[in-house]
Amino acid sequence: MAFDFEQIKQTMVSAGKEVSEKAKEASSIAKLKLDIHTKEEFLTKQYAELGKAFYQAHKNEDVPERSFFATIAEAEEELDRLNNELMDLQGAVRCPKCGSKQSDDNVFCNQCGTNLNWKNPEYENFEEIIHGENVSEGNSQL
Ligand SMILES: [Zn+2]
C-alpha cells in the first residue's frame, strides 16, 4: 500500500477540525449555561421584587395568595427580633422622641428622623432615657 500523504493530511485536518468544533461547542455550552444561570438569577430577583410589592400592597386584603402572607409576616417578625437582639448586643440606644431602638452609630432615628446627637439640648433627659430599662438589660447580656 502506498503511503498516501494527502489522505493522512486530510484526516489530520478533519480531525483537527472536529476537535476545534468540539471545543467551540464546549465553550458555547459553558457560555450558554452561564447566560441561563444569569438570566435565571435575574428572573428570581424580579419575582422577589414583584412578590414584595404585591405583599406590601395587599397584606391586609383577603387575596387568594393570602396563604403566603402568614409565613412572610412570621419571618419578618423573627427578623425584627433578631435585629433587635443584635442591636442590644451592639449597645443600642432609644430614640428620645419615638422611643424606638436605634443602633448607636445611627445619627438620625430611622423611624422618625430625630437627631440622635447626645448633646442635643432639646433632650435634657436623653441620658435617662438611654439608660432606661431595655438598654441596660441588653448590656447585661455582654
Ligand atoms: Zn425616633
Task: Check residues 114 and 20 and name the one with the higher pLDDT.
Answer: 114
Q: Is 37 contained in some domain? A: no
Cell 455582654 identifies what position?
142
pTM score: 0.47
Predicted confidence (pLDDT) per residue in 64-77, tens digit: 888 889 999 999 99
- Give the whole-angstrom CA distance, residue 113 versus residue 29: 52
**Ligand 1 centre from 119 Cα, in Å?**
16
pLDDT value of position 135: 47
Q: Is 23 contained in some domain? A: no
Q: Is 12 contained in some domain? A: no
**Ligand 1 centre from 96 Cα, in Å?**
7
Q: Is 110 contained in some domain? A: yes
**Ligand 1 centre from 100 Cα, in Å?**
6
Phi, psi of 41 (to 5 degrees): -65, -40
Q: Could you tell me the pLDDT band of residue 124, with boundaries at 50, 70 and 90?
A: low
**Ligand 1 centre from 7 Cα, in Å?**
86
pLDDT value of position 42: 97
Structural domain range at position 112: 66-140
Count structural domains, the chain.
1
Q: Is 106 contained in some domain? A: yes
pLDDT value of position 21: 81
* 101 DSSP assignment: E
Q: Is 82 contained in some domain? A: yes
**Ligand 1 centre from 114 Cα, in Å?**
5
